[in-house]
A = this chain, B = another copy of it.
């Protein structure tokens, strides 16, 4: 297996509502057959009906409430950007579940969930190099 991911699919209860939320945050996608595809660097973020996605995985759904086991993260270039994005997410239909704080590792982050409860950590972490194109590079921890 090569070390890469092709798609991240978020199960959603209302595709139109979910699309509107991500578009309000600035994302632009294409919809085909009740599925929305957002190109995100070399992979795609996909919105699809939660029941269909569970069935397609051969899994029973454990329900939407609470933590589902996976969190996405979005790194930004300043602490002010963290605050701005959390405020925007809240304004357009998300919920801030953890207000931004500086954590024990010294970086500043908070978490919002989208309208379907999928968590996004928004972080300003100077330790992870953020390229102009938005890609990140994990540092060599043996050098630290």
Contact = CB atoms under 8 A, between A and B. Distances in A.
**Among A1, A74, A116, A137, residue most surrounded by chain B Cβ atoms (within 10 Å):** A1
Interface of A: 1-11, 25-28, 30, 32, 37-45, 50, 53-54, 56-75, 85, 88, 97-98, 111, 113, 116-119, 121, 123, 128, 130-131, 133-138, 140-142, 144
10 contacts: A3-B26, A4-B41, A5-B43, A30-B140, A41-B42, A44-B136, A50-B69, A56-B111, A57-B71, A59-B119
A76 to B, nearest CB: 9
Total copies of the chain = 2
A111 B45 contact: no
